Copies of this chain bind each other. A is one copy, B any other.
Amino acid sequence: MTTMDRDILIGGDIGGTHMRVALVERHGLILHQSRAATDVQAGVPDVVKRLVRQCLEMMEMAHRMGRRVCAIGLGVAGKLDRRKGAVLFSPNLPPMNGYPLARDLRRALSVPVVLENDADSFGVGESLLGAGRGTPNWIGLTLGTGVGGCIILGGRLWRGDELGFSGEFGHMVVDPQGPLCACGLKGCLEAHASSSALQQGVRAAVACGRLSSGPLHAACSSNALTSELIHHQACLGDELARELFHRVGWTLGLAIAGLFSALGIRHAVIGGGVSNGWDQFIEPLMDSVARHCSMLEPADMVIRRSELGDDAALIGSAHLAWLQVPAAVNGLQSHTE
């Protein structure tokens, strides 16, 4: 076995609720993965300690297989300073803001660590092995607590001016008269098409007296509202839930139509937890994108669902780490971007 054959990666996805970490082959095969609560309320040092423990377990597992973890890639939602390996602004992990996460992990684990935006990691994963395979130019949208996004151009992740963000479709204003977003703006895509927006839609219906009984009302009262429950109720025919998913599709269509017109492309891939409600939003989405893009025939637009689900970000962050490890470390000359 050559040095390069021994090399293996860790890909991670640090979300507001869970941290997931995986042992990933260079070309994307996941060998093992683990999940732990993020529990950011316990404090950032505690989060980092548990993350280090998860990574150490993966490194030991690699060692038992005669392999060596040569780099770690971590996907995090928010604006990042990739050079310093620090989170600049993370809407779902505010205590993490300014924290040099990559530096601390590198010190604890003696392995190069790179931070990546979670939606960018998703994009690279889907591009490598999922719904973006073989499509040079496409946009990706991840519908979770917030709405993340990525742009793949010429088969590569587009990083813009390296300002720490790109593909932030969630914070494009789709309706200046729309609801308030977590970022402070009004009418962002995220305020219509995220799991937070679905939940907020139910809460608003309770507050204005439109919803006064039933499972959604009960879940709202007991603080147990989830996008899964709202989707389930939509499938059972609940009118409010159907309307909320209709709005998800309609606003996604508006945003995607604008991006197709702007970028001169015709492919999009949608992932994230809320995309499990596909059956409830794809029809209004296709109507909306056809209605809002005067440049393309509806038949030419391709909107695909993520093929890798939660694995996309793990595969993508591992791959991005591999691309960025200096050639000297992993015995290759020319695999960097």
Residues of chain A at the chain B interface (Cβ within 8 Å): 79, 136-137, 149, 151, 153, 158-163, 165-169, 171-177, 181, 183-185, 188, 254, 257-259, 261-267, 291-296, 300
Contacts and interface: CB of A to CB of B under 8 A. Distances in A.
A335 B278 CA distance: 47
A264 B158 contact: yes
A292 B173 contact: yes
B169 A261 contact: yes
Most buried by B among A172, A257, A292, A300: A172
Nearest to A266: B161
Given A137-B160, A161-B137, A254-B176, A184 B262 contact: no
B261 A258 contact: no
B294 A264 contact: no
A153 to B, nearest CB: 7
Contacts of A184: 294
A216 B169 CA distance: 40
A185 B259 contact: no
Contacts of A158: 153, 263-264
Indicate how many identical chains form the complex. 2
A123 to B, nearest CB: 13
Contacts of A263: 151, 158, 160, 166
A98 to B, nearest CB: 16
A153 B153 contact: yes
A259 B262 contact: yes
A13 to B, nearest CB: 21
14 contacts: A79-B295, A159-B264, A160-B264, A160-B265, A163-B300, A166-B262, A167-B262, A168-B261, A169-B262, A171-B295, A172-B258, A173-B258, A184-B294, A185-B294
